[in-house]
Amino acid sequence: MDATPDWGHATTLDDIRGSVAIAGIGETAYTKASGRTAREIGAEAAQRAIADCGLEPRDIDGITYNAAFADFDVAAFHEHFGTNHEIWSSPWGGGMSWAGTAPYLAAGAIARGDARHVLNVFPVAWATQRASMTGGPGEVHASQSLKQNLEVPFGWFPQPVYFATIMRRHMIEFGTTSEQFGAIAVAARWNANKNPDAIMHSKVMDLDDYAACAMLADPLRLFDSCLISDGGAAYVTTSLDRARDLPHPPVVVQGIGEGISDSGQHWSQQRAFTSTPQVFSAPPAFAMAELHPSDVNVLAVYDPFTIVTLMQIEDMGFCKKGEGGAFVEGDTLWWKSDGLPCNTHGGLLSHAYVLGIAHVVELVKQIRGTAPAQVSDCEVAVYGGYTGMHASTLILTVDR
């Protein structure tokens, strides 16, 4: 990796180390097609997160959600809870990369006095929508005109094909092997097998199963790919002082980073084709937290495909660029490992495809010590969010 890569940049963020904490989490069931709307799912996740904090709906005076998935916004909140109080809101929260930066928005709103308890919520009903052909991850991409005209007609679509091409280039540049990608898939499944909430909880998988599964877009196999799911989750951020008064031990936000690629939104044209903007996001987040990758007890990375896990592990500094393949071999990423337990809930690959919100909720459980696949002595947890040209890094710790 270049000493000073110039293909992207970090968002300038204020130092919010130790100022806010996550005080409540809520999750719906994670399922295949449920027939429910994202709005219903969002309401249930919100309700459970508020109850987990020991708060009432009227105590929530801030909401962050994602503008592109605005199924549970302020209007939906009031309609569901029968409230009408003033609520500060931002459409730059929710899932994906923004599941990692929503606490930063909350910290700002809390510091300004705009809100005390900020709910970040993200529901998705893509499994149900796919059945009715009214939406899903493929359609979101196909609706972009340059992809429609310069990628889709040539079979470079949808996401499995993009990431197969990135996998191939990583193999070319660094000698990464199919078995190493398989190790990531197997680790996610092993972790999911320990988590009763994971969709793939009862399905075991080993490297032989990985090698035998369907090749979708060589070199990318079925088990390199995430699920398609219905489900949602939410968490409530408040000031650290306030969190100390609430029922659960505070999960303290110590560092946040955001990285942006300057090569635009198309995977085909990314200058750093085998890297993610974690290159720009992780270093300032660790600097804010005054921690290092070697301090991390548990990691959760946005993992739509195994290659995205691999690239983020490299780009966040857990190993050198290009050495991720050797790093993830064996049991390194398993929840019980002495290595780097990663996606201990099962991730997008084997838990549910709810676009990162459940990753953050899992880390809160890990810091509380209540995760099904609990990492022992877990004090430092990190989320790596990814949305193509965006990446985020969220560093959480116990209340020290």
Residues designated catalytic? 302, 353
Tell the smallest beta-carbon distance from residue 16 to another protein (Å): 33
Phi first, then psi: give them for residue 59, nearest 5 degrees.
-75, -20
Contacts of 20 (CB under 8 A, 6+ apart): 103, 106, 107, 110, 237, 238, 239, 240, 243, 252, 253
Nearer to another protein, 138 or 369 (CB): 138
Tell the smallest beta-carbon distance from residue 134 to another protein (Å): 8
Tell the smallest beta-carbon distance from residue 157 to another protein (Å): 7
Task: Report the SS3 class of residue 45.
Answer: helix
Gap between the Cα atoms of 295 and 304, Å rounded: 26
Query: If you search the block for the tokens 């606490």, which residue do you land on?
Result: 103
Tell the smallest beta-carbon distance from residue 185 to another protein (Å): 17
Q: 332, 324 in Cβ contact below 8 A? A: no
Nearer to another protein, 75 or 172 (CB): 172
Burial class from Cβ neighbours inside 10 Å (0-12, 13-18, 19+) for residue 300 reads buried
Tell the smallest beta-carbon distance from residue 197 to another protein (Å): 29
Strands 380-386 and 390-397: antiparallel
Nearer to another protein, 204 or 222 (CB): 222
Q: 370, 376 in Cβ contact below 8 A? A: no
Strands 380-386 and 298-301: parallel
Nearer to another protein, 48 or 147 (CB): 147
Nearer to another protein, 207 or 215 (CB): 215
Burial class from Cβ neighbours inside 10 Å (0-12, 13-18, 19+) for residue 287 reads middle
Q: 191, 334 in Cβ contact below 8 A? A: yes
Tell the smallest beta-carbon distance from residue 36 to another protein (Å): 20
* Residues of the shown chain interacting with another protein in the complex, contacts defined by CB under 8 A: 135, 138-140, 142-143, 145-146, 148-158, 160-161, 164-166, 168-169, 172, 214-220, 264, 266, 268-269, 271, 273
Nearer to another protein, 165 or 397 (CB): 165
Amino acid at 348: L
Gap between the Cα atoms of 182 and 120, Å rounded: 33
